[in-house]
Structure 1
Amino acid sequence: MSDLDPLLRERLSAYRNDVVSRVTGPGPDQARHLLRRRRRMTAVAVAVAAVVLVVAPVVANAALRGDRNPPVPAESVQPTTPPTSAPPTPTPTGSPTPTPSNAPTAPDGRISPAQLLATRVDLPNWQPGEMEGGCTTSKVRLQTDTKKVYVPELTDDEFEHGDIDGDGAAETIAIVGCRYGEVSAKQVVAFDRDRDGRIVTVGRVVRTGDGFDDILAMEIDQSGSVKVRVADIALCCSTPEYLRREQVRTYRWNGERFSQNDGPTTFGKDPRLTDLRMSMTHELVDVPGTDTRRKLTTVFTVTNAGPIDAPQVAFESIDVGEPAGGDWSRCDPNPSSRYLPSCLLPGIPAGESRRYTFVQLVPGKPGPDARTRYFGVSHYDAQDRSWPDLREDDNKVKFPLPF
């Protein structure tokens, strides 16, 4: 090449440079420029595709609705941190759970006397002696206005209706009796209806023999409790009404049975009574002369052991002959008591004693109907009303001779 002409060498070098530049392509700077250009084109294409995906459903829906003005796509918003959601408001406590509207309602337990008399019912047990006598309990057809003994009957007391078990519906309570002599055993019984409308027995509220002898009335108060007015004695056999004491006792259903929740539970001793105690001495002598009768003198010592004064004392069954002296002249001649004693005299304060003497002319020999007698003393008030004694075994004496 050194032999070549310098001019020829210059031309060959220029030709070589031109060929190399055409084969190797652009250099590093041109390549980086081309890569940046392609990235921008790709980003634009992705953005355009996203806009098309958002707008297409909106335009399609607008076309389906016939909307002539399809909505403009919303502006894109840069994602932000989602706000913390507030905790749900707690359900208030203490309020009753609402009853579902489709929950079954309790049957109406309002029953009339005629309906109760027209069906057979099961009754709670009577006292043992009453059941042995014949007061039945199973499939009983109640009667009314009957004078038969040991026949369960519906008394003429008014029925009461009220919600006694808290189910939202009324039940029925009635007084059922069973006569066993001059008086009747009684029960307060609660009745209801089942969902088929049949009359069923809920249970016994209370019965006689549980600390009292009579049931006078009953009612259901606003709370569903049953108030029963009871008496310590049942009036019969000419027993005066003023002797009866009354109480109101309250009973409530506890889900299984009725139990007393208010009122007194016992009557206790009657504060109107006192304890009289009597002893006696006597003398029986012949009457001088032709009189065949004898003179009987009895001396009674009466002690009032309390706790209250006895305004009057009445001597009973001591008149076995003709009065002939002593305290007969002081006897009340016209006592207003329906029970006429042999003699009614001024009484004895509590804690004191008095002596009373009675002289009588009695037959010399006992007659064919003569019998042994008991002389007694009892407490009377200022209204001439007789009262029982707290201890009746010590306010009478047995006379040893028959008259």
Structure 2
Amino acid sequence: MDDLDARLRERLTAYRNGVVTQVAGPGPDRARYLLRRRRRMTAVAVVATAVALVVAPIVANAALRGDQNQPALAASVEPTAPPTSAPPTPTPTPTPAATTDAPKPPDGRISRAQLLAAHVDLPSWPSGPAEGGCATSKVRLRTSTTQTFVSELADDAFQYGDLDDDGAVETVAVVACRYGEASAKQVVAFDRDPDGRIVTVGRVVRTGDGFDDIRAVEIKGNGSVEVRVADIVPCCGTPTYLRREQVRTYRWDGERFDQTDGPTSFGKDPRLTDLRLSMTHERTEVPGSVARRKLTIVLTVTNAGPVDAPQIAIRGFDLETSGADWSKCDPTHAAETNNRACLLPGVPAGESRRYTFVQLVPSKTGADAQTRGFWVAHHDAQDREWPDLNREDNSVDLPFKL
């Protein structure tokens, strides 16, 4: 140990002895506390000095370069805990890829039994008797019935197809409502909602929209609906051969069904013509008879067109016949109608035919006398009667009663 350390130790010993003898210190505990504090302060000072020595050249160097973008460094740095090894970053759980598939549409295939068991809303019925009496809200459909103003499920087969391009089928059925001998009809599309309930998509078409009957329905592969419609209902004594039919096509546009193909009206029936009837008459005495007189009637039939009438029938002869053109009448037809009608050869379009008929009538008018008249009708080669384009000029009346 050198002389400097020895001298220092001697002086410290002398100083401690002198102070201790004069001052009552706090004791060894206080001394140990002060020693630990001095050691901490010394360590802080050492660290601060080291940092200053490192930072100073850097700051000076930046100043010399004139680097204005260099961030300023702190003048002093607080001691920090030594870095510890951080735990590895956990790998995030992969998120499932979002699916773009839309929910599967409900199956709209509905059976007859299921539709009969449900309560459904129907589109409005055509104007007229059906509109005033046939229900449309929460209707429980019935099978075919003779009751009037009762909504029923027609006997037509159900049709199934994808009408709205959603990948699932819908159901098309014909519903009807009887208001007399005839019925109003509608072609209605049904589907199911997401809960499986039967709902009404809309009306494809109904009677009253330019026609009076629906004959058949078919769904095509492209989702269009073909409806065979008829201009009349063959009921109430109307023969079926008078019926005309058309096929009209309808498609769903997202809100309703619109017609996309086929005719939109029937127009005039090209099979019909316009017959016109005129008359002259004469009453004369019958020789040797006081009770009867002879009535001579001349009937002129004109075919105003546009088609030929293969045959014509004149009706109204309910009195005793006496001669003239009665021999031209078809005897079979006269027998079937009890001599009330005379079936005659036809009249081409644009031509006229005159017929003379003689009847014996009472000389005096009795209490049961009534107005007598005649009318003409168009018949085809099969003896079938056809309506006239203008019924107003098809008949004539005698100016007196018999």
Instruction: Give me the TM-score of the superposition, normalised by structure 1.
Output: 0.72
- The one-letter amino acid of 2:165's match is G
| Paired residues of 1:163 and 1:224 also in contact (CA < 8 A) | yes
Give the stretch that moved more between structures: 235-244 or 281-290: 281-290
2:318 is aligned to 320
Are 2:392 and 1:384 aligned? no
The Cα shift of 1:337 comes to 11
The Cα shift of 1:183 comes to 0.3
The Cα shift of 1:173 comes to 0.5
1:329 is aligned to 327
Q: In 2, distance between residues paired with 1:397 and 1:375?
A: 5
2:183 is aligned to 184
Describe the SS at the equivalent of 2:107. Answer: coil
Q: In 1, distance between residues paired with 2:322 and 2:168?
A: 75
Are 2:262 and 1:263 aligned? yes
Q: How many residues align?
A: 304
- The one-letter amino acid of 2:318's match is V
2:355 is aligned to 356
| Paired residues of 1:337 and 1:384 also in contact (CA < 8 A) | no
1:83 is aligned to none
Q: In 1, distance between residues paired with 2:366 and 2:247?
A: 54
Q: In 1, distance between residues paired with 2:368 and 2:399?
A: 16
Q: In 2, distance between residues paired with 1:369 and 1:133?
A: 42
Are 2:149 and 1:150 aligned? yes
Q: Percent identity?
A: 68
The Cα shift of 1:100 comes to 4.3
| Paired residues of 1:278 and 1:396 also in contact (CA < 8 A) | yes
The Cα shift of 1:335 comes to 3.0
The Cα shift of 1:363 comes to 2.2
The Cα shift of 1:255 comes to 0.3
The Cα shift of 1:367 comes to 4.2
Q: In 2, distance between residues paired with 1:369 and 1:214?
A: 43
Query: Deviation string for 1:178-214 (max 9, x for gaps)?
Result: 1011100000000000000000000000000100010
- The one-letter amino acid of 1:289's match is G
Q: In 2, distance between residues paired with 1:275 and 1:223?
A: 44
2:134 is aligned to 135
Are 2:299 and 1:300 aligned? yes
Q: In 1, distance between residues paired with 2:334 and 2:173?
A: 39
Q: In 2, distance between residues paired with 1:392 and 1:156?
A: 36
The Cα shift of 1:397 comes to 1.0
Describe the SS at the equivalent of 1:223. Answer: coil
Where do residues 43-62 of structure 1 align in structure 2 (5 Å cutoff)? none
Query: Deviation string for 1:127-183 (max 9, x for gaps)?
Result: 232355311100111111211111111111101011111111000011110101110
The Cα shift of 1:371 comes to 2.1
| Paired residues of 2:334 and 2:343 also in contact (CA < 8 A) | no
Judging changes above 3 Å, is the alpha-carbon distance between structure 1 residues 339 and 110 closer, same or farther for their aligned structure 2 residues? farther
Judging changes above 3 Å, is the alpha-carbon distance between structure 1 residues 174 and 366 closer, same or farther for their aligned structure 2 residues? farther
- The one-letter amino acid of 2:342's match is C
Q: In 2, distance between residues paired with 1:177 and 1:389?
A: 30
Instruction: Give me the TM-score of the superposition, normalised by structure 2.
Output: 0.73
The Cα shift of 1:362 comes to 1.6
2:241 is aligned to 242
Query: Deviation string for 1:327-373 (max 9, x for gaps)?
Result: 11110011399878610011111111111111011222344433223
Judging changes above 3 Å, is the alpha-carbon distance between structure 1 residues 370 and 351 closer, same or farther for their aligned structure 2 residues? same
Cα root mean square deviation, aligned: 1.9
| Paired residues of 1:321 and 1:363 also in contact (CA < 8 A) | no
| Paired residues of 1:337 and 1:386 also in contact (CA < 8 A) | no
Judging changes above 3 Å, is the alpha-carbon distance between structure 1 residues 160 and 385 closer, same or farther for their aligned structure 2 residues? same
Describe the SS at the equivalent of 1:242. Answer: helix
- The one-letter amino acid of 2:184's match is A
| Paired residues of 2:334 and 2:341 also in contact (CA < 8 A) | no
Describe the SS at the equivalent of 1:393. Answer: helix
* Structure 1, gaps ≥5 residues long: 1-98
Q: In 1, distance between residues paired with 2:337 and 2:100?
A: 69
Describe the SS at the equivalent of 1:373. Answer: strand
Where do residues 69-108 of structure 1 align in structure 2 (5 Å cutoff)? 100=99, 102-108=101-107
Where do residues 177-216 of structure 1 align in structure 2 (5 Å cutoff)? 177-216=176-215
Query: Deviation string for 1:271-293 (max 9, x for gaps)?
Result: 11111111101112232213511
Describe the SS at the equivalent of 1:196. Answer: coil
Query: Deviation string for 1:18-63 (max 9, x for gaps)?
Result: xxxxxxxxxxxxxxxxxxxxxxxxxxxxxxxxxxxxxxxxxxxxxx
| Paired residues of 1:303 and 1:351 also in contact (CA < 8 A) | yes
* Structure 2, gaps ≥5 residues long: 1-97
Q: In 2, distance between residues paired with 1:120 and 1:339?
A: 52
Q: In 2, distance between residues paired with 1:222 and 1:339?
A: 53
| Paired residues of 1:172 and 1:191 also in contact (CA < 8 A) | yes
- The one-letter amino acid of 1:230's match is V
1:93 is aligned to none
Q: In 2, distance between residues paired with 1:165 and 1:127?
A: 25
Judging changes above 3 Å, is the alpha-carbon distance between structure 1 residues 344 and 373 closer, same or farther for their aligned structure 2 residues? same
- The one-letter amino acid of 2:325's match is D
